[in-house]
Amino acid sequence: MVLNEIKNRRSVRKFKPEMIPDEKITEIIKAAQFAPTAMNNQAIEYIIIKEQTIKDQIFEITEPKQEFVKTAPIIIVPFTNTEKTNLATQDLSLASENIFLQAAAFGLGSVWKNCYPPVAKKVKFILNIPEKYTLINIIPIGIPEENPKPYGDFNFKSEGIHTEKYGTKFKIKNDLTRKNK
Ligand SMILES: Cc1cc2nc3c(=O)[nH]c(=O)nc-3n(C[C@H](O)[C@H](O)[C@H](O)COP(=O)(O)O)c2cc1C
């Protein structure tokens, strides 16, 4: 059930040094490619970084600098062609979530490392990505060295879920939310 992967997916920021097999990387990219894109543009491409020197270069230009950019065995960089989509952020976000979920299904950890436009520009420069492409994040992935607690029904919030119109609470059976405990 996909909800299991969704519950197990937590941001992981400490990784073991072991490399991830290419077969698993391929499956993770497959999951990303099968995410929806606006008008089915399918314009997202990926760079898989394993080289320490490239990771180090990227670490230096990210803000804030976070160690996991250097220590993750791989970084996946999704980027998309702005000549083929006007909804790059949406497309890239959905692909990213599929990456997180497939990584979680493999027992791997991952995290969204944000790249604001000035940082994205520098990342593109380091990776030789042509001007017409845009990116919003980089995704370090590896075997977790820390194990954040999976989400459970305990974390579920029934506040903020309305029915028909704003202000009428959607009633949830067996509500185990934090508030009702
Ligand atoms: C748009 C976005 C930007 C994020 N940027 C970063 C980041 O730059 N560095 C980082 O360590 N985590 C980043 N995160 C991860 C969030 O901090 C994390 O998802 C949130 O704290 C919830 O924790 P969880 O992912 O374990 O559920 C980002 C997440 C999103 C959705």
pLDDT at 181 over 90: no
Separation between Cα atoms, residue 45 and residue 29, nearest integer Å: 9
pLDDT at 38: 98
| Structure letter (DSSP) for residue 131 | T
Same domain, 73 and 91: yes
Q: How far is ligand 1, taken at its centre, from the CA of residue 168, in Å?
A: 31
Domain hosting residue 18, numbered range: 2-150
Q: Domain containing 138 — which CATH number?
A: 3.40.109.10
Residues 168 and 139 placed together within one structural domain of the fold: no
Q: Which atom of ligand 1 is nearest to the CA of 148?
A: 26
Helix (H, G, I), strand (E, B) or coil at 137: strand
pLDDT of 176 over the 90 cut: no
Q: Are residues 35 and 57 in the same domain?
A: yes
In angstroms, what is the span from residue 173 Cα to ligand 1's centroid?
Answer: 30
Taking only the tens place, the pLDDT of each residue in 62-107 is: 999 999 999 999 999 999 999 999 999 999 999 999 999 999 999 9
Are 92 and 37 part of one and the same domain?
Answer: yes
CB-ligand 1 contact for 151 (6 Å cutoff): no
- Are residue 13 and residue 24 in the same domain, yes or no? yes
Q: Are residues 97 and 130 in the same domain?
A: yes
CA distance 146 to 57: 25
Percent of the chain with pLDDT over 90: 92
Note whether 170 and 136 are same-domain residues: no
- Split into its structural domains, the chain has a count of 2
59 in the same domain as 20: yes
Task: Give 118-171 pLDDT, tens digit per residue.
Answer: 999 999 999 999 999 999 999 999 999 999 999 998 999 999 999 999 999 999
Specify whether 118 is located in the same domain as 167: no
